[in-house]
Amino acid sequence: MASQQENDKQLAAQAAVALLADGMTVGLGTGSTATAALHAIAARKLSITGVPTSRQTAELAMALGIPLADINEVPHIDITLDGADEFTVSLDLIKGGGGALLHEKIVAVRSRQLVIMTDASKLVERLGKFRVPVEVIPFAVRYVQEQIAGMGAACTVRPDVVTDEGNLIVDADFGLVESPSALGARLKSITGVVEHGIFAGIATLVFMGDNGTVRRFPQVSGS
Ligand SMILES: O=C[C@H](O)[C@H](O)[C@H](O)COP(=O)(O)O
């Protein structure tokens, strides 16, 4: 039997998939909630073109019969549906718990809308309980760790993870984050950092499954 959390992820995924229409080009996120969305897309027999954010998602989409296109072959992406590890009511996110943050962010910034699907455990007042994943070129990993330590954060290289681009993930604990965009900019300026999992000002909508109902952020007045 599915847990309440899995059920809530599915409800959020169904709410997001309800925004799709035939003919759309859709960014396909990575992770368990994005997987629920893929199944919901297949169940609706929608005629969309998917742009996957990971090998794992591409494989599942192909198995479900969802046609795919290379991101560089599509003129635009109408909407992307993805999960998150944390989000705030201002729609700032931490992503990358599954190691797919780089392709996820590239697909997200090319999309007209980024719709996030989560369960209620992902809503936080301030980002930072979840360690910030940072994608790093292997040659630079020691230097990047030293720089992050110099910023006052403990960090570790995620064991046994190599990203789709052949990079490593460093998980960094900055504590609660005052300014997600400022932290993101600082991380991005470190030589050898390819990308980080702070998505500030990119998401347009969040559907959060909450004990059998779906809440949306930003909240519509009266909800
Ligand atoms: O790299 C992975 C992604 O950012 C996921 O979207 C994120 O970790 C959330 O995953 P899940 O839906 O499994 O909680």
Rounded CA gap, 207 and 146, in Å?
A: 37
Cis previous bond, 138, omega within 30 = no
Q: Is 122 annotated as a binding residue?
A: yes
- Sketch out the chain's domains with CATH numbers: 4-124+200-217 (3.40.50.1360), 132-196 (3.30.70.260)
**Pocket perturbation via mutation, ligand 1, pick of 86, 95, 158, 161 by most ligand atoms within 8 A of CB:** 95
Q: How many of the other CB atoms lie within 10 Å of CB of 154? A: 13
Ligand 1: atom nearest CA of 97 is 8
Answer whether residue 219 shows pLDDT above 90. Answer: no
Active site residues: 104
Answer whether residue 222 shows pLDDT above 70. Answer: no
Query: Can you point out the beta strands (E) in 29-153?
Result: 49-52, 79-82, 86-87, 93-94, 114-119, 132-136
Rounded CA gap, 200 and 196, in Å?
A: 11
Q: What is the whole-number distance in angstroms between the Cα of residue 47 and the centre of ligand 1? A: 25
Q: What is the whole-number distance in angstroms between the Cα of residue 93 and the centre of ligand 1? A: 11
Nearest CA to 192 out of 156, 140, 133 is that of: 140
Structure confidence at residue 134 (pLDDT): 98
Rounded CA gap, 219 and 142, in Å?
A: 43
pLDDT, tens digit, 9 for 90 and up, residues 29-70:
999 999 999 999 999 999 999 999 999 999 999 999 999 999
Q: Is 152 annotated as a binding residue?
A: no
Rounded CA gap, 197 and 92, in Å?
A: 11
Nearest CA to 46 out of 38, 56, 35 is that of: 38
Mean pLDDT of the chain: 97
Q: Is 85 annotated as a binding residue?
A: yes
Q: What is the whole-number distance in angstroms between the Cα of residue 30 and the centre of ligand 1? A: 6
- Name the band, by pLDDT with cuts 50, 70 and 90, for residue 89: very high
Q: What is the pTM of this model?
A: 0.96
Rounded CA gap, 4 and 103, in Å?
A: 29
Structure confidence at residue 2 (pLDDT): 85
Ligand 1: atom nearest CA of 95 is 4
Name the residue with the closest Cα to ligand 1, atom 2.
Answer: 98
**What's the token pair of residue 18?**
């309800």
